């Protein structure tokens, strides 16, 4: 009865190729100190430390520098500078994660995988020395990292034109929605009229206020126009405010055009497979039931085979304990799962003895060694073996036999005991 190494790079770059990037081995930088890591978590020692004159990068699908990967890298930029008093709007454009600290206080937190995204934070500051820290990571696809902040307008001097805000920043991702309009309010001492002058390739000023037609305290709205078709990059086109008897005021207007990020990878398939019941009697059946997601095909193996629907059920009748597997495939890869259907064995004990071939035999059984005997069967004449199938797994039993014929019953045989192991 059975059942990386750290590298600090110094580069000499021709002036006309500088493009806002200066590399240096010195840890002190007059602008932004950039620490570049070959992982997404800013862990360990940086592979590259250099001075970046500004944070205005669109690396696309390329690495930020030699020795760094195109994906799965991170950068920490720090800078200490003196800022005048005023209300500042800090703007980040990133693909992927970005965090920004001002004097040790985090003001922007979008530490996630995402396409090109603009985040802003507005703070009112007193004049003084400020520390800016920006952290960035790139997971895969295109990489964009930019930081800018608005410069508050100087308080209007005696007799000067007041313009609010002091500058305008637009951002646009190729293929995305156009940036919304922004307004500039102009105040002329004495209530004089003013006019605008611009030759912008990417916005229109409405009203144009030409020839001194706008009154003091009114606004002109800048609406992006010919944005579609521009290549990725930063464009600048100032708006000039002019009023008779006053110096012109130049309002910086910029447009940052970013390339779209790569589409996310297709989701991985999933498979579930179950058997009910998981254990069957000999010649019994079990129902296999399965389902899948993000899959285009499924194939069976093990105790069954062939192509299968993406979901369904099948009845199996295993002769012995059998394993069944199902593998499903899709654009995102492969996934599989298996189940086992166990076939239970029938517990039994077999008795054999010798005796009179012209007699029948009475078989008695008791549970364990301390139980009471009771007759459980009588064999046919001359049959001197018996299979007891009414036993239970894990229990022990004792047996005795006596012959019987027309003259009566013989004495009992010797006692024989056995057990059925699980």
> 131: which strand partners?
80
Q: Are 117 and 181 in a shared domain?
A: no
- Determine if the peptide bond prior to 277 is cis (ω within 30°): yes
The pLDDT value recorded for residue 275 is: 95
Q: What is the CATH number of the domain that holds 304?
A: 2.60.40.10
Q: Which of 305, 324, 343 is the last residue of a domain?
A: 343
pTM for the whole structure: 0.35
Q: Are 405 and 383 in a shared domain?
A: yes
73 and 122 in contact (C-beta within 8 Å)?
no
Q: Are 333 and 355 in a shared domain?
A: no
- Cβ partners under 8 Å of residue 378, min gap 6: 360, 361, 362, 363, 404
Q: Which residue bears the tokens 């000067």?
A: 160
Structural domain includes residue 9 = no
The pLDDT value recorded for residue 7 is: 28
Q: Which of 343, 373, 407 is the last residue of a domain?
A: 343
Structural domain includes residue 21 = yes
Q: Which of 343, 368, 389 is the last residue of a domain?
A: 343
The pLDDT value recorded for residue 210 is: 59
Structural domain includes residue 265 = no
What is the rounded CA–CA span in Å between residue 321 and residue 390?
A: 23
Q: Are 297 and 401 in a shared domain?
A: no
Q: Are 111 and 222 in a shared domain?
A: no
The pLDDT value recorded for residue 268 is: 94
Structural domain includes residue 222 = yes
Structural domain includes residue 4 = no
The pLDDT value recorded for residue 153 is: 53
Q: Are 142 and 65 in a shared domain?
A: yes
Structural domain includes residue 3 = no
What is the rounded CA–CA span in Å between residue 97 and residue 75?
A: 10
Alpha carbon distances (Å) from 1 to 46, 321, 387: 68, 16, 11
The pLDDT value recorded for residue 201 is: 75
Q: Are 48 and 123 in a shared domain?
A: yes
Range of the domain at 42: 15-148
Nearest to 83 by CA among 141, 149, 139, 128: 128
Q: Are 136 and 183 in a shared domain?
A: no
- Count of other CB atoms within 10 angstroms of residue 342: 16
Structural domain includes residue 383 = yes
The pLDDT value recorded for residue 76 is: 97
Q: Are 67 and 117 in a shared domain?
A: yes
Structural domain includes residue 373 = yes
Q: Are 353 and 337 in a shared domain?
A: no
How high is the mean pLDDT in each 10-residue block of the chain (422 residues)?
Answer: 31 30 50 94 95 92 93 96 87 95 95 94 90 96 92 53 89 88 86 73 72 74 80 87 82 90 89 94 91 96 95 94 96 94 86 92 91 93 91 89 92 91 66
What is the rounded CA–CA span in Å between residue 419 and residue 397?
A: 6
Q: Are 357 and 375 in a shared domain?
A: yes
Q: Dihedral of CA 183/187/188/191: which sign?
A: positive
Domain count, the chain: 4
Q: Are 22 and 138 in a shared domain?
A: yes
The pLDDT value recorded for residue 198 is: 67
Helix (H, G, I), strand (E, B) or coil at 340: strand
Region of residue 369 (left: phi > 0; alpha: psi -120 to 50; beta: else)? alpha
């Amino acid at each position: 009865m059975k059942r990386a190494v750290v590298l600090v790079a110094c580069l000499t770059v021709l002036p006309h190729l500088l493009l806002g990037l200066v590399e240096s081995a010195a840890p002190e930088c007059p602008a932004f100190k950039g620490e570049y890591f070959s992982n997404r978590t800013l862990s360990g020692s940086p592979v590259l430390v250099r001075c970046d004159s500004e944070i205005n990068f669109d690396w696309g699908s390329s690495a930020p520098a030699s020795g760094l990967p195109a994906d799965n890298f991170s950068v920490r930029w720090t800078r200490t500078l003196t800022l005048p008093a005023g209300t500042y709007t800090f703007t980040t454009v990133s693909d992927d994660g970005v965090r920004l600290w001002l004097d040790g206080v985090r003001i922007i937190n979008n530490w996630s995988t995402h396409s090109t995204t603009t985040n802003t934070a507005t703070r009112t500051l007193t004049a003084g020395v400020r520390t800016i820290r920006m952290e960035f990571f790139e997971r895969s696809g295109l990489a964009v990292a930019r930081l800018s902040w608005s410069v508050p307008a100087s308080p209007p001097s005696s007799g000067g034109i007041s313009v609010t805000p002091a500058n305008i920043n637009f951002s646009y991702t190729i293929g995305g929605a156009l940036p919304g309009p922004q307004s500039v309010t102009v105040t002329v001492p004495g209530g004089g009229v003013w006019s605008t002058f611009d030759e912008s390739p990417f916005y229109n000023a409405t009203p144009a206020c030409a020839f001194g037609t706008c009154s003091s305290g009114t606004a002109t709205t800048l609406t992006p126009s010919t944005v579609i078709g521009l290549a990725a990059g930063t464009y600048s086109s100032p708006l000039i405010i002019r009023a008779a008897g006053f110096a012109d005021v130049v309002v910086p207007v910029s447009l940052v055009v970013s390339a779209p990020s790569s589409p996310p990878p297709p989701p991985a398939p999933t498979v579930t497979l179950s058997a009910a019941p998981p254990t069957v009697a000999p010649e019994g059946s079990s129902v296999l039931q399965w389902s899948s997601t993000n899959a285009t095909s499924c194939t069976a193996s093990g105790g069954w085979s062939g192509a299968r629907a993406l979901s369904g059920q099948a009845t199996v009748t295993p002769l012995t304990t059998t394993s069944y597997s199902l593998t499903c495939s899709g654009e995102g890869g492969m996934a599989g799962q298996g189940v086992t259907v166990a076939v239970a064995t029938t517990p039994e004990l077999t008795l054999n003895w010798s005796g009179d071939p012209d007699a029948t035999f009475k078989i008695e059984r008791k549970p364990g060694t301390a139980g009471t005997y009771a007759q459980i069967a009588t064999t046919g004449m001359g049959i001197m073996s018996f299979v007891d199938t009414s036993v239970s797994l894990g229990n022990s039993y004792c047996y005795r036999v006596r012959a019987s014929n027309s003259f009566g019953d013989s004495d009992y045989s010797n006692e024989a005991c056995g057990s059925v192991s699980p």
